[in-house]
Structure 1
Amino acid sequence: MSSIPQSKDALEQAIRDAHAKLMSDYRAVPEHMTRKLSLEGNVKGTQISVCDTVAYLIGWGQLVLKWHTLTSQDLPVDFPDTGFKWNQLGLLAQHFQREYNEWQYAALLDELDTTTAQILALIAHLSDDQLYGESWYEAWTLGRMIQFNTSSPMKNIRTKVRRFKKGKGLR
């Protein structure tokens, strides 16, 4: 199978797989370590916590859902989000981190589970053609935009979390 999903089934499987593996790694990190600033941040030269990585994934997942809701109602969408341009993704990541800064680790993990389930439910209600048959945003299909903001960052963040766990002697 290609590493880039080209169909509804492949997209669902990529998200399920990436989410399951990442959640397994997240659950192996004790809560008392989840706010330590020791992972490479999205802005050059910054450090973030494990909790910040969860906030990042929730933020992007919620944006995907917001984009679909707005476009399905023929309402305009500010891509990537209101007040942010594509060249400001580091600032957007920091916005997500601030938005969820007070949340407990368990609540963040629950929210990531919920957000991922909502995205999978959205995909389940769409056809292959709706996901991959036409451009949805500029040159990108809806399926590709979903993948860019779900399974792809989950895989990238998992690498950071595994590096963190290894450095802390966690299994």
Structure 2
Amino acid sequence: MAVPQNKDELLSEIARNYERLRKDLIALPVERSVEKSLEGHAKGTMMSACNLVAYLLGWNELVLKWIARHKDGQEIDFPETGFKWNQLGRLAQKFYEDYEALTYQELIERLDSAKKEIVTFIESTDNHDLYECAWYDKWTMGRMIQFNTLSPYLNARVRVRKWAKQQGIML
């Protein structure tokens, strides 16, 4: 995948890659969704498919929080209040805990909803605001959205497909 350079490319890549990931997630046996046999986000850890979807949901909802704070003219604690960029393993664990009460299906439905909200925001935002001015440090808003939605979708799909192959699960 080439890195999206504008609004249209970002929307296209999110749509294409999210749908591919979603298809694979839906194909996984629900009864295996809590099995901690996928390589985790922190080195030396294992996670479940539920954890993986919780991680994606956590990032999507965090992006929505950034957007809401930006719209309200409030300061944004990147990546999240109480976390630094070098503490993403700890943040992943927080996401797993935040959503542990949800079923696999509920996690996917909530991820669908968060992704749709992000797409709606991108559609309503002009290319200038997304890609022609810095938003966080040197990064544009479009690039920050891509880093924290599209890139994790791609990474998650690779993890799911590798795990499914190892487990003999047809996707």
Aligned counterpart, 1:64: 63
Residue 12 of structure 1: how far off its partner (Å): 0.4
CA RMSD of aligned residues (A): 0.8
Q: What residue in structure 1 maps to residue 52 of structure 2?
A: 53
Deviations 1:118-140 (A, max 9, x none): 00000001001010010010000
Report the secondary structure of 1:170's partner residue: coil
Q: Which runs of 5+ in 2 are unaligned?
A: none
2-side partners of 1:39 and 1:3: how far apart?
Answer: 27
TM-score by length of 2: 0.97
Structure 2: how far apart are the matches of 1:127 and 1:77?
21
The residue that corresponds to 1:136 in the other structure is: 135
- Cα deviation code 1:63-122 (max 9, x no counterpart): 111111111211111111111111100100110001111211110110110010000000
Separation of aligned partners in 1, 2:123 and 2:41: 31
Residue equivalent to 1:22: 21
Aligned residues: 170
Deviation at residue 157 of structure 1 after TM alignment: 0.7
- Provide the C-alpha distance between the structure 2 equivalents of 1:167 and 1:41, rounded to a whole number of angstroms: 15
Deviation at 1:52, TM superposition (A): 0.6
Structure 1 residue 8: deviation in Å?
Answer: 0.4
Secondary structure of 1:136 counterpart? strand
Deviation of 1:164 after TM superposition, in Å, equals 1.2
Name the SS for the 1:43 alignment partner: coil
Moved more, 72-81 or 126-135: 72-81
TM-score (normalised: structure 1)? 0.97
* Distance (whole Å) between structure 1 residues aligned to residue 22 and residue 138 of structure 2: 32
Amino acid at match of 1:36: E
